[in-house]
Amino acid sequence: MPVNAVRRGISVMRNGVGAFVLPCRKLTFRYCNRGASSVGMREYIHENLAKFSKENPGIEFEVTHKHGQPLITGHYLNGKKKSIGVANMSPSEIVTKAKLLRNSSGKKLVRPTHPVSSINDGPRGIWSPFHMLAQYRHKV
């Protein structure tokens, strides 16, 4: 066989090229029925949540009753979770936090210290000193 195939792994997903799937798949709203810190959260669930869930049909919404501080948790396609405590927040602040979780990619927040790598080739190609015109070549 003159040409053999090398296994280089499966194709790589490019979310947004073709189909786009929102990375946030589920949002959990945890509230307490008695706690004063959940006053805003209770109002949010009562007033805003229905509209928010209607705007985001692809997200599964879950409302959990538990004693303690209110919490919003986002579950993402990469298997990670992100939680934001919303104790003592007003409904308008909780709206912002819920949107933040909805728009998040689910990736861990890290400071990018490495050069950005891409799965695509550079449009300009790789620079080669040997393929330059002779007058521009470096003379040793």
Per-residue tokens: 52? 């928010």
Q: Name the residue nearer to other proteins (CB basis): 5 or 110.
A: 5
Among 35, 58, 92, 114, the residue binding other proteins under the rule CB under 8 A is 58
Count, residues near other proteins per rule CB under 8 A: 48
Amino acid identity, position 2: P
C-alpha span between 58 and 85 (Å, rounded): 23
Q: Tell whether residue 18 is a contact of other proteins (CB under 8 A).
A: yes
In 3D space, the residue among 79, 1, 58, 67 whose CA is nearest the CA of residue 34 turns out to be: 67
Min dist CB 127 to other proteins, Å, is 12
- If 0-12 CB within 10 Å is exposed, 13-18 middle and 19+ buried, where does residue 17 land? exposed
Residue numbers at the binding site for other proteins (CB under 8 A): 1-15, 17-19, 21-22, 25-26, 28, 33, 42, 45-46, 49-50, 53-54, 57-66, 77, 119-120, 128, 130-131, 140
